[in-house]
Amino acid sequence: MTLRRTSIRIAAGAAVLGSVSALVAPVSAVAGSHRERAQGGAVVSVEQAADLTAEEVAEELRGKIDPSQVRYGVTAYRVVYRTTDSAGAPTTASQLVVLPKNGARHLTTVSWLHGTTVYRKDVASENPKSNDRLVALLFASTGRAVSAPDYVGLGSGEGFHPYGDPGATVAASVDGLRAARTFAHRNGRELKRKVQVSGFSQGGPATMLVGRALQQEGADRYFRPGALAPVSGPYNLSAFEAAAADDKIARSGIYLAYFVTAWNKMYGLYTSPGDAFRSPYDSKVEGLFDGHHTAEQIVGELPAASKDLFTEDFLNKIRKPEGVLKDKLRPMDNTCDWRPNVRVEIFHGRGDKDVDFSHAAYCADQLTRNGAAHRLTDVGDHDHNASVRQALPRIVRFFDESAKTG
Q: ∠ CA 24-29-32 to the nearest 5 degrees? A: 135
Please count the other Cβ atoms lying within 10 Å of the Cβ belonging to residue 353. Answer: 13
Q: Is residue 23 part of a domain?
A: no
Whether residue 7 lies inside any domain: the answer is no
We report the CATH number of the domain holding residue 256 as 1.10.260.160
User: Residue 129's pLDDT is what?
Assistant: 85
Q: Find all residues with CB under 8 Å of 29, minimum gap 6, and list them.
A: none
pLDDT < 50 regions, the chain: 2-38
**Domain containing 176 — which CATH number?**
3.40.50.1820
User: Do 62 and 193 fall within a single domain?
Assistant: yes
| Of the candidates 183, 210, 184, the residue with the CA atom closest to the CA atom of residue 196 | 210
Distance, in Å, from the CA atom of 135 to the CA atom of 132, rounded to the nearest integer, reads: 5
Q: How many structural domains is the chain composed of?
A: 2
Residue 104 inside a domain? The answer is yes
pLDDT, position 90: 96
Element (H, E) at 258: helix 252-267
Q: How many Å apart are CA 393 and CA 316, to the nearest integer?
A: 41
**β 90-100/145-149 pair status:** antiparallel
Decide if 102 is inside a domain: yes
Q: Which helix (H) or strand (E) holds 195?
A: strand 190-200
pLDDT digits (tens, 9 = 90+) for 317-373: 999 999 999 999 999 999 999 999 999 999 999 999 999 999 999 999 999 999 999
Which pLDDT does position 406 carry in this prediction? 59
3-state helix, strand, coil in the chain (%, to 5): 40, 20, 40
Other beta carbons within 10 angstroms of residue 290's beta carbon come to: 14
Predicted TM-score (pTM) of the model is 0.90
Check whether residue 105 and residue 204 sit in a common domain. yes
Domain boundary among 327, 351, 378: 327
Q: Considering 327, 344, 367, which residue would you say is the last residue of a domain?
A: 327
Same domain as 188, residue 83: yes
Does a structural domain hold residue 25? no
Q: 341 and 270 in one domain?
A: no
Residues 227 and 245 in one domain: no
Residues 47, 193 within the same domain:
yes
Domain that holds residue 60: 35-234+334-403
3-state secondary structure of 205: helix
My answer on whether 256 and 363 are in the same domain is no
317 and 347 in a single domain? The answer is: no
In a domain, 167, yes or no: yes
327, 344, 379 - which closes a domain: 327
Tell me: do 152 and 213 sit in the same domain.
yes
Whether residues 230 and 301 share a domain: the answer is no
Would 10 be classed as within a structural domain?
A: no
Please tell me the predicted confidence (pLDDT) of residue 404: 86
pLDDT computed for residue 22 by the predictor = 29
Helix axes 203-215, 358-369, angle to 10 degrees: 20
